[in-house]
Amino acid sequence: MSTRYEDWRGEVSDGLSRLAARTERVVALGLSMGGTLVLDLVSQDSKRVAGAVAINTPVLDRKGILVKMAPLLEHVLPLVPASAAGLARNDIAKPGMNELAYSWVPAKSGNSLVREFPRIRKQLPNLVCPIMVAYSRADHSVPPENSQAILRAIRSKDVTELPLERSYHVATLDYDLELLEERITAFADRVAAKA
């Protein structure tokens, strides 16, 4: 419960550095908060990667009374139900799949992510590397408006938009998995060859 956004960001940054030391080109990919981390790092230094992929990525401020009260509540409630954090339970359309997500979220950890959204949105215009933005139209955890905001903000000349029609939030375990694999592989091959 002591982990904060800076810790996650540091791990992803270190991972990118380790991977870059072992290969000529890196394509960074993230789902949900992982996408936020990728956008954060890549918009600060687009030269670190040949390309980036963001899937169902949150960047917009959440709305509602709980969000407004969250900075106060985090000092009283160390854990909150995932639903209170705006996360739908098992947000997968495909029957029989389970995302194995926590039913409770550490309040201070979650709020540390939410507090970074304005800074990340502000730096998105710096993102100039090739990027693919994939989003589920029926996402119950991260509304597709987040992906539209990303697409409007970035200044890359090489943008691939991929709407996912059959999946919910965890698209990597859902009906559109094969489509994602096919399109991301083609994108990675293309940008890596071009870099």
Q: Which residues are catalytic?
A: 32, 139, 169
Map 128-181 to HEC letters: CCCEEEEEECCCCCCCCHHHHHHHHHCCCCCEEEEEECCCCCCHHHCCCHHHHH
Cα 46 to Cα 176: distance, rounded to the nearest angstrom? 28
Give how far Cα 17 sits from Cα of 13, 36, 41, 47, Å: 6, 18, 11, 12
Let me know if 27 is exposed, middle or buried by CB neighbors in 10 A (0-12, 13-18, 19+). buried
Cα 195 to Cα 191: distance, rounded to the nearest angstrom? 6
